[in-house]
Structure 1
């Protein structure tokens, strides 16, 4: 697959310690994008899915895989293969996309359902510079949604992802 870069210990591309793959090539070219070097589909370099999986699995502290961009859905089949490996090892998978969930499930993007089937959380929608927010959890702009993909596919409609309460296991049930 064609990638721009990887980050082995990201803490900003989803919860926990993440292995992030920045795919190369993006048709959206959002004004103000923080990764404009990923837009050109001929840029970056080739990396085998197996090579990326080896890097992903090399750190036992990694909580999940994040596929970002560029646009991961431009390489949906390859991204789905890598995501499947991550999920087989018990890791969660987040995918950032400039497409909306509705366009992906409508079949407008080839291979989208294959990648969605391996995705736990989808951050969807284009980056909108006028709605840029540093307070938007795991998002660049407030129009983007955090979507629980398995629950959304089962419900036939968008189900927002809810951040788990990290202290929930410390609360004792009332007697």
Structure 2
């Protein structure tokens, strides 16, 4: 494993205080790079793999530590699972700071579980909530909790790992 003090994440942007990306007040990290290219994506500026800024994880941590009212962080994209090692370390840092972690993926939970990458498997054990699945324009629904289309799921990873059965968080 790399030294977390020098590990970097390719980032598109941050939101310092979101109330729409998970429970409570959240710090949101938009990772740079996505190879899914979902038609109608609300964040196409995150697609290019070589754009954005490489930022040391300790610098990202300093940004969220400025706000003592945060409940958690949300890692969005782009596709965060394209940078699994720094994302895993960022999740661990957030937990060390007493914050919960939501993470988005355009891939399904089942697809991520099949990937041959120990960092991805650890992310699925370490993060608290996964919002999974590609955005599908025909299933767009602005009334859904934390997601844009009805095929996407909010998965309680802690309960899923405990019970070994997929635990979906309902909208109500």
* TM-score normalised by the chain length of structure 1: 0.89
1:100 aligns with 2:108: yes
CA distance in 2, matches of 1:23, 1:110: 20
Residue aligned with 1:111, SS: helix
1:1-175 mapped onto 2 (5 Å cutoff): 1-108=9-116, 111-161=119-169
Residue aligned with 1:84, SS: helix
* TM-score normalised by the chain length of structure 2: 0.90
Structure 1 stretches of 5 or more lacking a match?
A: 166-175
C-alpha displacement of 1:120: 0.5
C-alpha displacement of 1:108: 4.7
CA distance in 2, matches of 1:92, 1:162: 19
CA distance in 1, matches of 2:116, 2:108: 10
**Equivalences, count:** 164
CA distance in 2, matches of 1:142, 1:57: 34
CA distance in 1, matches of 2:10, 2:51: 8
Residue aligned with 2:126, SS: coil
CA distance in 2, matches of 1:114, 1:105: 10
* Cα separation, partners in 2 of 1:109 and 1:98, compared to 1, 3 Å: farther
Which structure has the greater CA radius of gyration? 1
CA distance in 2, matches of 1:106, 1:120: 19
Q: Report Cα offsets for 1:122-150 as digits up to 9, x if no partner.
A: 00000001111110111111100000001
Root mean square deviation of aligned Cα = 1.5
Q: Structure 1 runs of 4+ off > 6 angstroms?
A: none
C-alpha displacement of 1:107: 2.7
